[in-house]
Amino acid sequence: MNRNRAVDFWVGLFVLAAIAALIFIALRAANASSLSSAAVYSVKGHFNNIGALKVRAPVRAAGVLLGRVTEISFDPQTFEAVVTFTINAKYPFPKDTSAQILTSGLLGEQYIGLTPGGDTADLKDGDTLEITQGAVILENLIGQFLYSKAAEGGMDKSGGSPGGGSSAPGPGAGPAGGAAGGAASAGGPAGGASPAAPASGGGGAAAIPSPPGMAAPAGSAKGEGKR
Amino acid sequence: MPEKHAVRLASVAFGYDDKRRVLQDIDLVVPEGKIVALMGRSGCGKTTILRLIGGVHRATAGKVEVFGEDVGAVDTDGLHRLRQKMGMLFQFGALFTDLSVFDNVAFPLRERTGLPERLIHDLVLMKLEAVGLRGARDLMPHELSGGMARRVALARGIALDPRLMMFDEPFTGLDPISLGTIGRLVRALNDALGASSIIVTHDVQESMQIVDYIYFVSDGRVVASGTPAEIRASAHPFVRQFVHAEAEGAVPFHHPAADYRSEMLGTVAA
Amino acid sequence: MIDGVARLGAWVLRTIERLGFASRFFVAILRFSGASFSRFRLTIREIYFEGVMSLVIVGVSGLFVGMVLGLQGYDTLVRYGAADSVGVLVALSLVRELGPVVAALLFASRAGSAITAEIGLMKATEQLVAMEMMAVEPIARVVAPRFWAGVISMPLLSIIFSTVGIFGGYLIGVVMIGVDSGAFWSQMQASVDFRDDVLDGIVKSFVFGVAVIWIAVLEGYDSPPTAEGVSGATTRTVVTSALAILALDFVLTALMFRGT
């Protein structure tokens, strides 16, 4: 019987060691954020291009993780992407919050950045965001840059109204620091196609310093058909 | 009044596959309370007969009856029941190498009975005492000599007081002292338990002293049978050769081969 | 030529037959598993021989693997100014892949081969038949406890391997090379997700455990009862287990880490 006790002891120690290892990993090596069952509310947003956004991508505001993307689907009526994501219920956002698809770091994963608006009413579970901005598409960026260079070299048009379908550079508030080349328009008429693009070329490609006048219409940057 | 049979084999045939038929047509009985020996050359199927009786294999033809029940037809529970009445001693003991002598003998008691440990302790000591190894109870199997291992296996075999004991070559490879001991134990335990026994062996001298009846098996059939006295006096060629250990007789010395002279002189391909 | 094709055909048929036998054997193990749990002492004894006795090799190997990861990882990451991420590299590599896979390979070579040899020898020395004749089902008494002990031990060993490896990476990265300790752990915490990475790794090790121990007991139980038979079975256990582990790893990784 003594031999059995020794065996039991060592087996118990073995199991204990494994449990301790698991706890160590859980606490020190990994984050258990996916396990926390905090209350969340679900919100939708329509984007003309989600770029490389994936399900379970983070949702951040001011850089802080507040939720996750839960579903990505396609609207056959408007031909836009529909992204459903959750926000931690501890943090209510105003109804006119805008969502933007940004990239973390130079080559990092894409995430949704929320910028609060000024509405007094809050978003409720199931609401749809009205203001969104899609991801930066590298090809559009390059096209815009090339045309802006061509425009500067050739014609002598200065500035020009922010017409056409191309949008102004992104909300000044934001995450300009994030993306390479900041916030040129995704979707819309591809920068390369439209000869009107060079007109806003002044504000084009690397347009980090957005003219103050742009700040206001930033919200309607996406133009028609968006609401 | 016909004797009741502990074991009865009727026209039993068996083969591991279609090509190798080990047993062709076996008829034998083991009367209750008697010790029967199965003799024959190595590899003639004697051990297979024991396995058929134990239900390890199923006969391809014929009937194997143990205590009146058909071993081949009974279901798993029935087989369990029958096996509890049997005890088997394997050729080299087949002791469980990771258990001590005591635990080996206690194994069937612990597994098959719900007896409390104190009672099992006493029973094990009694069985070991019967084979003279009570003092060796804490040894491990690899520390035992061949004869001792076989005695421990015998103690384990009788642990559940079986009504039928089967011995697979119990005398093989033992020194004369151990031989005599095992022989006496087999007879004594059989009579003490009121059991029946089958001994598979080719040790003629020792077995003739203790058994009541002998069957000779050759080429998958029973070629001769009788009491030890009858066997000794038998004129059957195979029996004579076997009992008197003659080199030539019914069983030739040479395995079939081409002509010796021709093969050595190279006139016949090897 | 025809002979080669015939042999190939025969091999395929034999393999299919073997697979069928293996499946029926698996079902039989499950059927006879009652005693493994009602008499848990049997299983505990096997956990000792399979798990506890493998701790040394798993621990030492884990330490060295973690240290090598730290060394190699630092060497590459420092070129991109990302030396702080060496903890992430070590932790993710171990928890997702190396922990389950290497621990399973070590388990197969040490415990798996030992079990095959043990069961094979028990068969060769007629211990299994003796048990059968005593109306004790060998699968219930000998095979099933070893099976469940393996299934239980494998994830435990894998977790210990990963943890010791992370510690090894810490030793090299922080203590020896001088990466900032705070950055080491915080980067790791930010990148290693418990459910996605750690739990998936545990699921993997559980699957590997089932595969390895199943192969081990099968080869032992089915081995020819001779010396060559047992040695051949032992070799087959290690080789087949290794192939199974790597193939399953591919399948599981594809399923789990699709990155959608």
Q: How many CB pairs under 8 A join B and C?
A: 46
Residues 6+ apart with CB under 8 A from A164: A189, A194, A196, A197, A199, A200
- Residues of C with Cβ-Cβ distance to A10 under 8 angstroms: 48, 52
- All residues at 6 or more sequence positions from B224 whose CB lies less than 8 Å from its CB, including other chains: B215, B216, B231, B234, B236, B238, B239
Q: How much is the average pLDDT of C64-75?
A: 94
CB of B50 within 8 A of CB of B198?
yes
Main-chain dihedrals φ then ψ at residue B246, nearest 5 degrees:
-85, 145
The residues near B46 (Cβ < 8 Å, ≥ 6 apart) are B38, B39, B40, B200, B217
Three-state secondary structure call for residue A46: strand
Contact status, residue B35 vs residue B212, Cβ threshold 8 Å: yes
- Report the share of chain A in percent with pLDDT over 90: 3
B167: contact with C, CB 8 A cutoff: no
Measured between its terminal Cα atoms, the distance across chain A in Å is 78
* Residue B113 near chain C (CB below 8 Å): no
For C136, name the nearest residue in chain B, comparing CA atoms only.
B111
Residue C260 has pLDDT above 70, yes or no: no
pLDDT at A158: 54
Number of helices and strands (H, E) in chain B?
Answer: 10, 10
| Cross-chain Cβ contact A25/C195 below 8 Å | no
Q: Is the CB of C195 inside 8 Å of chain A's CB atoms?
A: yes
Of A54-63, C53-62, C73-82, where does mean pLDDT reach its minimum?
A: A54-63
Query: Which of A195-199, B19-23, B148-152, C149-153 bottoms out in mean pLDDT, i.e. has the lowest?
Result: A195-199
Task: Give the pTM.
Answer: 0.75
- Angle subtended at Cα C12 by Cα C7 and Cα C13, rounded to the nearest 5 degrees: 95
Region C62-83 average pLDDT: 92
pLDDT of residue A157: 56
Token duo for residue A153: 């070299």
Selected for mutation to probe chain C from B71, B80, B111 (highest C CB count within 10 Å) is: B111
Closest chain C C-alpha to A107 CA, distance in angstroms = 13
The total number of residues shown for chain B amounts to 270
pLDDT of residue B36: 92
CB-based contact, C52 to chain A, within 8 Å? yes
Nearest to A165 by CA among A99, A81, A227, A221: A221
The beta-carbon neighbor of A10 closest among C48, C188, C197 is C48
Q: Do A28 and C185 touch (CB under 8 A)?
A: yes
| Å between C23 CA and nearest CA of chain A | 30
Question: Tell me, what's the pLDDT at A214?
Answer: 41
> B141 CA to chain C: closest CA distance, Å?
12
Rounded to 5°, the CA angle B104-B105-B111 comes to 80
- Predicted confidence pLDDT, tens digits, chain B (270 residues): 456 788 888 888 888 776 778 888 888 889 888 999 998 887 778 888 888 898 888 888 888 989 888 888 888 888 888 888 899 998 888 899 989 999 999 999 998 888 999 999 999 999 999 888 999 889 999 999 888 898 999 999 999 889 999 999 888 888 888 888 888 888 998 888 889 999 998 888 888 888 999 998 888 888 888 898 888 888 888 888 878 777 777 777 788 888 888 888 886 555
- Residues C185-195 have a mean pLDDT of 83
Which one of B94, B96, B112 has the shortest CB-CB distance to C135?
B112
- Residue C157 makes CB contacts below 8 A (sequence gap 6+) with A18, C51, C54, C55, C58, C103, C106, C107, C205
Confidence class for position A92, pLDDT limits 50, 70, 90: confident
CB contact under 8 A, A55 and C260: yes
Mean pLDDT of chain C: 91
Which residue's structure tokens are 């006795």? C53
Whether residue B61 contacts residue B222, with contact meaning beta carbons closer than 8 Å, is answered with no
| Per-residue CA distances from A13 to A18, B126, C39, C107 (Å) | 9, 39, 20, 18
pLDDT digits (tens, 9 = 90+) for C202-250: 999 999 999 999 999 999 999 998 999 999 999 999 999 999 999 999 9
pLDDT on residue A3: 61
Please tell me the predicted confidence (pLDDT) of residue C229.
93
Write out chain B residues lying below 8 Å of C136, CB-based.
Answer: 107-108, 111-112
Contact assignment for B95 to C126 by CB distance below 8 Å: no
The pLDDT of residue A159 is above 60: no
Q: Which residue of C has its CA nearest to A69?
A: C260
User: Which of C51, C159, C189 lies closest to A31 in CB terms?
Assistant: C189
Q: Tell whether A37 lies on the interface with C, counting CB pairs under 8 A.
A: no
Mean pLDDT of C170-178: 90
User: Which among B30, B25, B38 is positioned nearest to B7, based on CA atoms?
Assistant: B30
Are A221 and A168 within 8 A, CB to CB? yes
The mean per-residue pLDDT over the stretch A19-38 comes to 74
Instruction: Say which residues have a Cβ less than 8 Å from residue B98's Cβ, sequence separation at least 6.
Output: none
Cα distance between residue B127 and residue B105, in whole Å: 8
Secondary structure (3-state) at B125:
helix
Taking the Cβ of residue B180 and every Cβ of chain C, the question of whether any pair is shorter than 8 Å is answered with: no
CB A103 within 8 A of CB A180: yes
Cα gap C73→C83, rounded to integer Å: 8
Pick the range with the lowest mean pLDDT from A85-94, A100-109, B196-205: A100-109
Collect all residues from C whose CB is shorter than 8 A from any CB in B.
121-122, 125-127, 129-130, 132-136, 141
pLDDT of residue B117: 92
**Token reading at B103:** 């635990």
What is the DSSP-derived secondary structure letter of residue B59?
A: -
Q: List the single residue in C121, C122, C134 with the smallest CB-CB distance to B108.
A: C134
Interface ipTM above 0.85: no
Check whether C21 has a pLDDT greater than 60.
yes
Query: Residue B85 and residue B65: Cα distance in Å, rounded?
Result: 13
Contact across the interface for C194 and A11, Cβ inside 8 Å: no
| Of A207, A202, A199, residue with least CA distance to A181 | A207
- Chains with at least 3 CB pairs less than 8 angstroms from chain B: C
Tell me whether B54 touches chain C (CB under 8 Å).
yes
- Residues in Cβ contact with C258 at an 8 Å cutoff, skipping those fewer than 6 apart: none
**Rg of chain A taking only CA atoms, in angstroms:** 24
What pLDDT sits at residue C122? 94
The string of pLDDT tens digits covering residues A123-138 is: 888 888 888 888 888 8
